[in-house]
Structure 1
Amino acid sequence: MEEVAEIVKKQSSLAISTPPVQVQVNHQIHSPNSISFPKSPYNSRFMNTPLATPLKKVIENILEEVGHFTKFDQQDDWLPITACRKGNAYYAAFHLLCSGIGFQALVLPLAFTTLGWTWGILCLCVAFTWQLYTLWLLIQLHESDTGIRHSRYLKLAMAAFGEKLGKILVLFPVQYLSGGTCVTLIMIGGGTMKILFQMVCEDSSCSLYQLKTIEWYLVFTVAAILLAQLPNLNSIAGVSLIGAITAVGYCSLIWIVSVYQGRLDNVSYEPPRRQSQATRIFSVWNALGIIAFAFRGHNLVLEIQGTIRSDSKNPSRLAMWKGVMFAYLVIASCLFPLAIGGYWAYGNLMPSNGGMLSALKKYHEHDTSKFIIALTSLLVVINGLSSFQIYAMPIFDNLEFRYTSKWNKPCPRWLRIVFRSLFGCLTFFISIALPFLPSLAGLIGGVALPITLAYPCFMWILIKKPKKHSTTWYLNWTLGAVGMILSVLIVIGAIWGIVALGIQIHFFNP
């Protein structure tokens, strides 16, 4: 036993004195929480006997604990997404709710005006189930067999498709989703601020203080930039909680008030008839794009999971899946009543610009309590400020990654402020230059659809390598292929809708 004790002592000393290990993959340093250590050089015949099994477990636990407090990657500790890994299932649920419910849900009834009751509900159910499955795939792929954690969607795509192809397929859609969503939030948030101010301050004495739409955009952007100074993704968990509460609040208020007030006079549920066959087909594809756009947010799932601590006993996927199940139960309880109740109340009279929020103000401004409409507007503004933070975080992370890769040191605080302020200024400029972007929900949904419904299936096949012709193999190939075809059709349908129906294109005139 003295020999065994000496072996344990030497093994522990060796593990603790081992310098930090750095693993370079795809030109970026990754920081696995559970890197596989080499087998012990003291592996003797005695250690392979049943008598030594408890002792081997003790040694493995010692090595595992050493691996958890050893810093394997400094760069991950410098970046906003992975700087803090103190997240849990609750924080994950907050982030998912904040990013999963938003303005995109308000336009869901527009898809029903084309698809009708049966196909509208069926497509909504299929899309919800499909994206929940691909969400599960991403969560399982977050940690590789080698211990590497893919805490960014782009890095997982590069690991699956290769560095060049991964960037080509994923970089633009992911950045487009993050930046485009922030631009749209400025438009909706700033516009809602203006409406809220007009409702609260109807007295003529307030006429001297009324701001223009551009100025309200600026007010919203400044507030978003100030809030964006929180250092990392885990630190905005409280902001995401507020965003989640306000999102559930205004979605519930809108559909409850709409249903309570009853159906409008002369409401119709019949699709427009005076259309050519080609126009109907393209309108259907555009409607599918609106439904797909309602379930965007997969570009943030791996980032959110990256904030959760992981070890062999409690891998991050367990806590993440608990958060997902709770969050998407709440999301379903918001989206389905909003889509079905909104279509029941307004039918084909649903405004094409703004969706349910515009319908509430257009049809029920005079027969609904002023307090209810003002509260709904306030919740929309707060949710917009909260959602801006989580969607902008991948952009902030990418900017700081460029700096830390070049200079091999953490980004100084003053430069972080400059990065985030410049991003806010850029999104503000785009919101003024292209104020018609919210009318492109179908087109945005088509571009983002592979991120949500197709790429996770292909990445599962390439990384997990399921047995050919197995059920999993057929399922993922089918879903991935159908997702890519749908993406192309939806983009074509959205472009056709823009050309045929037209949108009010006005630059620098919000």
Structure 2
Amino acid sequence: MVSTSPSKEVLSIETCKEAEASRRAKWWYSTFHTVTAMIGAGVLSLPYAMAYLGWGPGIMVLVLSWCMTLNTMWQMVQLHECIPGTRFDRYLDLGRHAFGPKLGPLIVLPQQLIVQVGCNIVYMVTGGKCLKKFMEMACTNCTQLRQSYWILIFGGIHFFLSQLPNFNSVAGVSLAAAVMSLSYSTIAWVGCLSRGRIDNVSYDYKKTSGVDSMFRVFNALGQISFAFAGHAVALEIQATIPSTPEKPSKLAMWKGVIGAYFINAICYFPVALIGYWAFGQDVEDNVIMELKRPEWLIASANLMVVVHVIGSYQVFAMPVFALLEGIMVKRFRFPPGFALRVITRSAYVAITLFIAVTFPFFGDLLGFFGGFGFAPTSYFLPSIMWLIIVKPRRFSANWFINWASIFIGVFIMSASTIGGLRNIVADASTYSFYT
């Protein structure tokens, strides 16, 4: 059993009861929740990452990331009920079991929060930018608003949606978001294909100084890491699936994950490869912004991105809401209920909205958060926990695969965090804030 005392539990008793009552999801719930969590803003920046990595390295990193994260996702699905009769419903719970009650939260919680909060900030930026683009194309005679205002409008939607109580209550929003992700990804690569290559397209590496080029390559690794983000909420998604000895939750969850990764592949690879083929080194960090014709279709794609990131924001925010409400109940004796939800969730939405309006650097944010949070949670933390809990035979194939994931993941984390942070600082020095 997990060695944690009641005083150290973050979730309140009421939240735990609510979680038990909500275990009624089917396998396809895990598919669209995982798709919503994974296929988001990151897919639109993949051609931009390819522009810094080039054909060979870019394809290699994409394929390697897809395979590695599918393996670590399988590990998390298996570890959800690695002790008979006990379900690790959160990444934090599994971390406590693997690393101990004191070390576990110090290792896992910061990384998971970076992923969830980072995603929410990036989705605020993405939603605002795409909403602005949609309105500019749909109403050419309207007065144009600043980008900051559009981000504020997008954020305002979440002050209402954040009051939905749990994962099951956002199932409809998540399903719509999953459908939108497949739709706008298809529009992106089909639009690039139909447009064809731009005049004088070049596949040479982007012309920058040697030092800047190195940091941009590091940032590109983080952008690809950001595209594989579902692990941070995988256990929370699996927690909604019922489980019995005859039919454990891992069977339904894995079935859903396979479906999600299939959709992931048919979204990511065409967008990355065809987008880079069409625009080469001149591609923007959001490939949809490159497309101009037909206007109605590109406007629709931008609106689809808005719908998708609305759902994605909620999928990543739900575990944070549970954590914040648990802290308010346990440590500050705040009575659970509607007032608690309004105060804590509105405060969280306001904070992520403020950061998004202040630092709307889409590509740089992807690289920074992709390296700092996504590489650990998606690439190597599951492998470390697998080695500790399952203890595969030393020098076996399983042992080597996990150590390879750890070394590759640590490198991606270090390089992309440095590159992303440096690029944010560099871009902020020439940016006029709140314009």
TM-score, normalized by the shorter chain, greater than 0.5: yes
Asked whether the equivalents of residues 29 and 76 of structure 1 are also in contact (C-alpha less than 8 Å), the reply is no
What SS does the corresponding residue of 2:87 show, helix, strand or coil?
A: coil
- What's the CA shift string for 1:187-215, capped at 9, x where partnerless? 22122222222222223xx43xx544333
Q: 1:486 to 1:355 in 2, by over 3 A?
A: same
Asked whether the equivalents of residues 334 and 340 of structure 2 are also in contact (C-alpha less than 8 Å), the reply is no
Asked whether the equivalents of residues 137 and 456 of structure 1 are also in contact (C-alpha less than 8 Å), the reply is yes
Q: 1:218 aligns with which of 138, 148, 152?
A: 152
1:352-431 map, 5 Å: 354-360=285-291, 365=292, 368-406=293-331, 411-431=336-356
Matched, 1:229 2:163: yes
Q: d(CA) in 2 for partners of 1:494 and 1:409?
A: 38
Q: d(CA) in 1 for partners of 2:192 and 2:145?
A: 30
Matched, 1:296 2:229: yes
Matched, 1:432 2:357: yes
Q: 1:28 to 1:144 in 2, by over 3 A?
A: farther
What SS does the corresponding residue of 2:336 show, helix, strand or coil?
A: coil
User: 1:243 offset after TM fit, Å?
Assistant: 0.2
User: 1:253 offset after TM fit, Å?
Assistant: 0.5
Q: d(CA) in 1 for partners of 2:167 and 2:288?
A: 29
What SS does the corresponding residue of 2:189 show, helix, strand or coil?
A: helix
After TM superposition, the structure 1 stretch with the greater mean CA deviation from structure 2, 149-158 or 194-203, is: 194-203
Which residue in the other structure is 2:380 paired with? Answer: 454
What SS does the corresponding residue of 1:215 show, helix, strand or coil?
A: helix
Matched, 1:119 2:57: yes
Q: 1:105 to 1:211 in 2, by over 3 A?
A: same
Q: d(CA) in 2 for partners of 1:228 and 1:172?
A: 22
What amino acid is the match of 1:130? Answer: M
What amino acid is the match of 1:99? Answer: A
What amino acid is the match of 2:5? Answer: H
What SS does the corresponding residue of 2:54 show, helix, strand or coil?
A: helix
User: 1:74 offset after TM fit, Å?
Assistant: 4.6
User: 1:29 offset after TM fit, Å?
Assistant: 9.0
User: 1:275 offset after TM fit, Å?
Assistant: 4.3
Which residue in the other structure is 1:26 paired with? Answer: 4
Asked whether the equivalents of residues 223 and 363 of structure 2 are also in contact (C-alpha less than 8 Å), the reply is no
Asked whether the equivalents of residues 95 and 104 of structure 2 are also in contact (C-alpha less than 8 Å), the reply is yes
Q: d(CA) in 1 for partners of 2:208 and 2:161?
A: 49
User: 1:504 offset after TM fit, Å?
Assistant: 5.3
Which residue in the other structure is 1:476 paired with? Answer: 402
- Higher RCO (CA-CA < 8 Å; seq separation 6+): 2
Q: 1:258 to 1:474 in 2, by over 3 A?
A: closer
Which residue in the other structure is 1:286 paired with? Answer: 219
| Count, aligned residues | 432
Q: 1:269 to 1:302 in 2, by over 3 A?
A: same
Q: 1:297 to 1:286 in 2, by over 3 A?
A: same
User: 1:77 offset after TM fit, Å?
Assistant: 3.4
What SS does the corresponding residue of 1:163 show, helix, strand or coil?
A: coil
User: 1:447 offset after TM fit, Å?
Assistant: 0.8
**Equivalent pairs: percent with the same residue?**
36
Which residue in the other structure is 1:160 paired with? Answer: 98
Which residue in the other structure is 2:114 paired with? Answer: 176
Asked whether the equivalents of residues 76 and 382 of structure 2 are also in contact (C-alpha less than 8 Å), the reply is yes
* CA RMSD between the two structures: 2.5
Asked whether the equivalents of residues 94 and 241 of structure 1 are also in contact (C-alpha less than 8 Å), the reply is yes
1:187-226 map, 5 Å: 187-203=125-141, 206-207=142-143, 211-226=145-160
Q: 1:447 to 1:258 in 2, by over 3 A?
A: same
What amino acid is the match of 2:405? Answer: L
Q: 1:219 to 1:268 in 2, by over 3 A?
A: same
Q: d(CA) in 2 for partners of 1:475 and 1:199?
A: 48
What amino acid is the match of 1:357? Answer: I
User: 1:272 offset after TM fit, Å?
Assistant: 3.8
Q: 1:185 aligns with which of 98, 107, 123?
A: 123
What amino acid is the match of 1:216? Answer: W
Report the structure number with the largest CA radius of gyration.
Answer: 1
Q: 1:148 to 1:485 in 2, by over 3 A?
A: same
Q: d(CA) in 1 for partners of 2:302 and 2:314?
A: 19
What amino acid is the match of 2:108? Answer: V
User: 1:431 offset after TM fit, Å?
Assistant: 1.7
Which residue in the other structure is 2:370 paired with? Answer: 445
Which residue in the other structure is 1:13 paired with? Answer: none
Q: 1:198 to 1:271 in 2, by over 3 A?
A: closer
User: 1:96 offset after TM fit, Å?
Assistant: 0.7
Matched, 1:132 2:70: yes
- What's the CA shift string for 1:23-63, capped at 9, x where partnerless? 773235999xxxxxxxxxxxxxxxxxxxxxxxxxxxxxxxx
User: 1:428 offset after TM fit, Å?
Assistant: 1.6
Q: 1:490 to 1:82 in 2, by over 3 A?
A: farther
Q: d(CA) in 2 for partners of 1:410 and 1:324?
A: 37
What amino acid is the match of 1:413? Answer: F
What amino acid is the match of 2:159? Answer: I
Asked whether the equivalents of residues 152 and 357 of structure 2 are also in contact (C-alpha less than 8 Å), the reply is no
After TM superposition, the structure 1 stretch with the greater mean CA deviation from structure 2, 255-264 or 219-228, is: 219-228
What SS does the corresponding residue of 1:457 show, helix, strand or coil?
A: helix
Q: d(CA) in 1 for partners of 2:427 and 2:13?
A: 51
User: 1:144 offset after TM fit, Å?
Assistant: 2.7
Which residue in the other structure is 1:101 paired with? Answer: 39
Q: 1:309 aligns with which of 239, 242, 252?
A: 242
- What's the CA shift string for 1:200-244, capped at 9, x where partnerless? 2223xx43xx54433322221221221222211122111111000
Q: d(CA) in 2 for partners of 1:444 and 1:506?
A: 20
What amino acid is the match of 2:301? Answer: T
Unpaired stretches in structure 2, ≥5 consecutive residues: none
Q: d(CA) in 1 for partners of 2:156 and 2:212?
A: 42
Q: d(CA) in 2 for partners of 1:153 and 1:375?
A: 36
Which residue in the other structure is 2:205 paired with? Answer: 271
Which residue in the other structure is 2:194 paired with? Answer: 260
What SS does the corresponding residue of 2:240 show, helix, strand or coil?
A: coil
Q: d(CA) in 2 for partners of 1:409 and 1:493?
A: 41
